[in-house]
Structure 1
Amino acid sequence: MARWRTRSRAAGCGAGREGRGTVRTVRDVRDTRAGRTAKTKDEAPDLPGVWSAYGVLLQHLRKRAGLNQQQLGDAIGYSLEQVASVEQGRRPAKAAFTTAAERVLKAGGVLDVLQDEVDRAKLPRFFRNFALIEAEVVSRFSYDPLLVPGLLQTEGYARAVFAGHCPPLSEEIIDRHTEARLSRQKLLARVPMAELSFIVSEEALRNPVADAEIMRGQWQRLLEVGALRNVEVQVMPASTGFHSGLNGPFLVLETNEHQQIGYVESQEVGCVVRDPAEVSAFGLRYGKLRSQALNAAESARLIEQLVGET
């Protein structure tokens, strides 16, 4: 599986989008002369190290408690195969698994502290570094012209997006990416709260990514999130004409160290932008877009209309 290294825009990173991920760069060339050859389908998958670390710790706690894998599985409601897969690092633990294992093994929170890292490792490889930045932001402003932004997606909508991936993803990978996307949404209710602004194009909202029931649930989700004190959802109406967002999606973030950065992503190529002049331009464009989009109340009324039409 290819490795990716995050590069700044100054280093020549290409543009990109937040629909399915967020941080990536140039593919490492595997040098056969150095003994590194391309993986074949028969080779073991390159699984995240944190899954193995979690598994080793789980096995230690289980043995300390005097349980075998079957007994632990019975106690927490999982099969022998599932427990074995987690211990071997072949399958990531879900939050419910960790909660149950913590209780049965009296782990004192040592498994729970790894859960965020386990979840983050479910994300597409190129997006993981950006997810670390995103989790700690003071503010996050995004413009999305093509899809409902990942932080606002319902499970059904997210699953439909990943199911449409080309080349096709396995059901297991779709499950992992969906779980990881939903886990990122902790940012919406994180304490201390982050200031979050989303501008979504009307075309993105009307695009039937999934069936009518899922789309209705997605629009209702936007209304619910838009009512939060720290979240603003605005719709860019299709009738606006030319505006500065037509050249693609982008994000403007402020880190917990009060550093302003930008982010762009497209076709699973993401780029963190740190150059102050370029980030300043992102901020100016976003301010212009906010003035051109419907305000929060008008946007909510438009989304309510969409719900009523289905």
Structure 2
Amino acid sequence: MSVNGEAVRVGTGTDQTDEPGWEVDPDDDWALAVIATVGRQLRLRREATGMRVCDFAVAVGYGEDLVYKIETGKRIPRPEYLDTADEVLGAGGLIAAMKEDVKKVRYPKKVRDLTQMEGRAVEIGLYEPSSVAGLLQTPGHAQALFDVWQPPYSADDMERMLAARMARQSIFDREPAPSLSFVHEEAALRRQVGDTMVMRQQFERLLEVGRLRNVTLQVMPMLSGPHPGLSGRIELLKFADGTAVGRSDGAFNGRPTSDPRQLRILELRYNTIRAQALPPRESLTLIEQLLGET
């Protein structure tokens, strides 16, 4: 369970099922293999010390049901669980070291794939018509968007999705820095997402990122008239080896494409959108104005 967003350890009875940890996606073969390996290592280490599941559960402060699920590869352990298990079993850091492997699979597969592509890209161009781009969202903004998703996310999925979205933003720490271009609709920026503080923090984040040397941030004014992006989101990623991948909600069934002809179409549309949007300096001025209005 959780209180005010913080994970709280629950009792140690075997009837506890809603405990800290993440469910494994049954369609994610790689995640299943990793978590099965981690669970097996935990079980072998526990058995080598002669501890029964019930005793181990008491020692780590979690329920027996969670211990069984983790050891059988049905539950993704949280980092604090591995830290505590390492200490209880005297593993000397070997169990805690598995946090790096677990970290890679705690996010949904589609998010990992996207993060991997963004991590390799040397150029990213993104037109976002309906909201702030995920790479630029603050935690509060992202949380407000997830809160209204239908059907509703479970608390477990909510936490995973939010953590995954924030993890993608490590792209801003890369060296050498990739070239990033964003175009947002003014109407999307004006939409009330979260409370006043969430709105202010989001505008401040946009201004912070928009002033980075490797980032071009533009706003499409509401009075701009029709443009090629009205059919949906456009994303273009270019890689160091000269290859690229693109996707648009309004083209090629919304599927990612690396076909040169289709990429030229998406690039033409994106460049036309950029030409119609406000220049970067005027865009930042508009965002400053929106910040002042909140």
> For the Cα contact (< 8 Å) 1:70–1:80, is it kept in 2?
no
Which of 101, 123, 144 is the matching residue for 1:114? 101
Aligned partner of 1:297 in structure 2 is 281
Give TM-score scaled by structure 1 length.
Answer: 0.70
Q: Is the counterpart of residue 80 in structure 1 residue 87 in structure 2? A: no
Give TM-score scaled by structure 2 length.
Answer: 0.73
Give the distance between the partners of 1:231 and 1:73, measured in 2 at CA. Answer: 49
Give the distance between the partners of 2:113 and 2:50, measured in 1 at CA. Answer: 38
Shift of 1:272: 0.8
Distance 1:288 1:63, change over 3 A: farther
Larger Rg: 2
Q: SS of 2:197's equivalent? A: helix
Aligned partner of 2:9 in structure 1 is none
Give the distance between the partners of 1:96 and 1:237, measured in 2 at CA. Answer: 46
Structure 2 counterpart of 1:111, one-letter code: M
Shift of 1:146: 0.3
Identify which of structures 1 and 2 has the higher relative contact order when contacts are C-alpha pairs closer than 8 Å and 6+ apart: 1
Q: Is the counterpart of residue 228 in structure 1 residue 212 in structure 2? A: yes
RMSD: 3.4
Distance 1:265 1:67, change over 3 A: farther
**Structure 1 unaligned runs (5+)?**
1-43
57-66 or 219-228, which moves further after superposition?
A: 57-66
Shift of 1:99: 7.5
| Equivalence map 1:1-310=2 (5 Å) | 46=26, 48-49=31-32, 50-59=34-43, 79-81=61-63, 84=67, 86-94=70-78, 105-107=92-94, 110-119=97-106, 122-123=107-108, 125-265=109-249, 271-310=255-294
Give the distance between the partners of 1:83 and 1:197, measured in 2 at CA. Answer: 44
Q: SS of 1:138's equivalent? A: strand
> For the Cα contact (< 8 Å) 2:83–2:95, is it kept in 1?
no
Q: SS of 2:268's equivalent? A: helix
Distance 1:276 1:92, change over 3 A: same
Give the distance between the partners of 2:76 and 2:254, measured in 1 at CA. Answer: 25
Structure 2 counterpart of 1:288, one-letter code: T
Q: SS of 1:139's equivalent? A: strand
> For the Cα contact (< 8 Å) 2:231–2:249, is it kept in 1?
no
Shift of 1:297: 2.0
Give the distance between the partners of 2:209 and 2:245, measured in 1 at CA. Answer: 24
Structure 2 counterpart of 1:114, one-letter code: D
273-282 or 50-59, which moves further after superposition?
A: 50-59
Q: SS of 1:143's equivalent? A: strand
Q: SS of 1:141's equivalent? A: strand
Shift of 1:92: 3.4
> For the Cα contact (< 8 Å) 1:152–1:185, is it kept in 2?
yes
Give the distance between the partners of 1:151 and 1:95, measured in 2 at CA. Answer: 24
Give the distance between the partners of 1:225 and 1:74, measured in 2 at CA. Answer: 46
Distance 1:226 1:71, change over 3 A: farther
